[in-house]
């Protein structure tokens, strides 16, 4: 069984077997985040890019849980320079784990370290957990690389930003769901703060009109796959 829990913003927690996978763990800095840091196993941490609302608590959690951060090469080096355990990868590289695999794929955005230095390319991440494919889009605009992801990898579930300003908006995320060939979508990166306010119910209505499933999760809620 795989459980997928929404922590808030772009942070998710996947539990499978004895493994706990955190994605973009912006937790202590986000008052709306819901996650029990003391009673959840953390074995792997993935970070789409270096911005604070994605790197979040990755470095301290890597140290406290001896969990490896998997991210783009330059950002992995940055994490290691701060004492974290990290694994650097490049675009398109498949990284194997006991629970499945992950692949860093394009995202169109920017990326910098907390000090403002270059942090490599921002990424989206495709997880394949025992054949269930979960695509986390990271921060991105709508881009035609998503057509390739849809054609080659056919994600079962796509986690898509809808908040605009820093990423695509609702209308573009609807197009992304088509291009990604995703059967189910979960909105993210909205309503954390005023600049990224979005109406998730409006998104859900548009997705359902395409005969796709849209699951709106409040922080702390999750689904089983």
Q: What is the contact surface with Ni ion in residues (CB under 5 A)?
A: 51, 139
Q: Residue 188 forms beta bridges with which residues? A: 161
- Minimum distance between the CB of residue 101 and Ni ion, rounded to whole angstroms? 24
Residue 172 contacts which entry, Ni ion, Mn ion, none (Cβ below 5-8 A, type-dependent): none
| H-only helix segments in the chain | 52-55, 58-65, 73-81, 145-152, 170-179, 200-208
Cβ atoms of residues 197 and 163 within 8 Å: yes
Shortest CA distance to 136 belongs to which of 107, 165, 111?
Answer: 107
Place of tokens 């406290």: 64
Q: How far is the CB of 159 from Ni ion (least distance, A)?
A: 14
| Rg for the chain, CA atoms, rounded | 16
Find the binding residues for Mn ion in span 111-140 (CB under 5 A): 139
3-state secondary structure of 118: strand
Burial 171-195 (b: 16+ CB within 10 A, else e): ebbbebbebbbbebbbbbbbbbeee
Number of residues that bind Mn ion (CB under 5 A): 2
Q: How far is the CB of 59 from Mn ion (least distance, A)?
A: 17
- Complex with Ni ion: residue 51 or 103, whichever CB lies closer: 51
Taking the least distance from each CB to Ni ion, the nearer of 15 and 51 is: 51
Of 105 and 129, nearer to Mn ion (C-beta) is: 105
Question: Should residue 24 be labelled a site residue for Mn ion when binding is judged by CB under 5 A?
Answer: no
Nearer to Ni ion, 2 or 45 (CB): 45
Query: Using CB under 5 A, which of the segments 47-55, 64-72, 118-126, 179-187 binds Mn ion?
Result: 47-55
Whose CA is closest to 213, among 195, 199, 198, 225? 225
- The least CB distance from residue 125 to Ni ion, in Å, is 14
* Helix, strand, coil percentages for the chain (3-state, nearest 5): 25, 30, 45
Of these, 53, 68, 169, 184, which contacts Mn ion (CB under 5 A)? 53
Q: How far is the CB of 50 from Mn ion (least distance, A)?
A: 10
User: Smaller CB distance to Ni ion: residue 100 or 106?
Assistant: 106
| Residues making contact with Mn ion (CB under 5 A) | 53, 139
């Amino acid at each position: 069984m795989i459980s997928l829990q929404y922590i808030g913003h772009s942070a998710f927690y996947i539990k499978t077997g004895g493994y706990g996978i955190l994605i973009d763990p912006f937790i202590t800095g986000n008052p709306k985040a819901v996650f029990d840091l003391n009673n959840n196993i953390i074995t792997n941490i993935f970070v789409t890019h270096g911005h604070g609302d994605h790197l979040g608590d990755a470095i301290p959690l890597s140290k406290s849980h001896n969990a490896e951060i998997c991210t783009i090469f330059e950002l992995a080096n940055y994490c290691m320079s701060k004492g974290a355990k990290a694994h650097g990868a490049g675009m398109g590289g498949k990284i194997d784990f006991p629970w499945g695999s992950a692949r860093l794929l394009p995202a169109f955005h920017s990326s910098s370290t907390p000090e403002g230095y270059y942090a490599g390319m921002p990424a989206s991440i495709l997880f394949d957990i025992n054949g269930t494919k979960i695509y986390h889009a990271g921060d991105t605009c709508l881009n035609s690389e998503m057509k390739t992801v849809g054609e080659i990898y056919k994600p079962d579930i796509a986690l898509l930003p809808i908040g605009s300003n820093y990423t695509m908006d609702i209308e573009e995320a609807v197009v992304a769901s088509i291009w990604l060939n995703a059967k189910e979508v979960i909105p993210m990166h909205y309503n954390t703060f005023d600049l990224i306010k979005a109406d998730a119910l409006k998104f859900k209505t548009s997705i359902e009109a395409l005969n796709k499933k849209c699951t709106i999760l409040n922080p702390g809620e999750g689904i089983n796959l």
